[in-house]
Amino acid sequence: MPRLILVSLLFTFSFSFTLTSAFRWQCPAADAQVVAEIFAALNWTYTGTDCCHLTNMIRCNPNTSSVTSFTLNSYQLNAPIPAAIGKFANLQYVSIHNMPNLHGGIPPSFASLTKLTYLRISGTNVSGPIPTWLNRLTNLESLDLSFNQLSGSIPPTLANLPKLTMLHLDRNMLTGPLPDSFGQFRGANLQIFLSHNSLSGAVPKSLAQADFARIDLDRNQLVGDPSPLFNNRSKSLTSIILSRNLFNFDLTSVVFPSGLWILDFSHNMIYGSIPTQIVELPNLQQFNVSYNRLCGEIPQGGNMQKLDSSSYMHNRCL
């Protein structure tokens, strides 16, 4: 009899666990309906209700079963981004990547995804302006809109995202100035990538107030003196890439943050001499001032000894 009771208890526990697991991973009807709408927009067939098992696309909260992650990567789909994605009530993560035939704009319905911490729409043919409503997504920590066909200016209101630490707008067709508001970013160790656009004008002095870790402005049409970026004393600033712009300033008296790993000012119109302080940067791994108008002695010592002549080539009198 005791053995029979034990077997009965084990069966009951196993059955209960199976039911609980099945219930836990049965996505809510509202989320299942959203998935059905997404599939319909992409001309795919979806007949199930257990969307949490679409593991290449969907991730669900293990406690509530609600959809928290949506991924659409590397499909050859000729369609707009499904607007129904914006109907997920608890979505925290969206990745739409390497979809070269995906076109149209970023759906306005995404403005409802206020729980998002990660938004990636990259490697697509998506066009139009960067939406101004992105500043409503106040939980965003990472925003990647790189490798698209986005045009127009950068919305100043992006600086209102209080938790943002990663911003990729590189390789688009963006024009206009860098927003002065970018000096108001509140996130720590912000990494900002704006390369391969057509941004113009001067770098706002206000940017020296933000806590940047990496700044990449390569291949734009920026002018003037960006040295306030270098004078930022933040120890978190590790990389500054300003190559292939129209910067024209005296490098002689610039003081660099001590934590820098990468400095690339190549292909500009920078003049003066290389500051001797450069040899005091203990972590410097890459330094490139080629194709400028620099003169004087090349500082010796420190990590400068590891650099080859290509780092200085095509200057006026180095």
CA atoms within a 13 Å half-sphere pointing along the CA-CB vector of 159: 17
pLDDT digits (tens, 9 = 90+) for 86-110: 999 999 999 999 999 999 999 999 9
Q: What percent of the chain has pLDDT over 70?
A: 91
Give the residue extent of every domain in the chain. Answer: 27-262
- Residue in 70, 55, 68, 60 with CA at minimum distance from that of residue 24: 60
pLDDT > 60? residue 232: no
Cα(77)–Cα(41) distance, integer angstroms: 11
Higher pLDDT pick, 23 / 213: 213
Task: Provide the CATH number for the domain formed by 27-262 in this structure.
Answer: 3.80.10.10
Return the pLDDT at 11: 36
Return the pLDDT at 48: 73
Q: Residue 39 corresponds to which tokens in the numbers above?
A: 């599939």
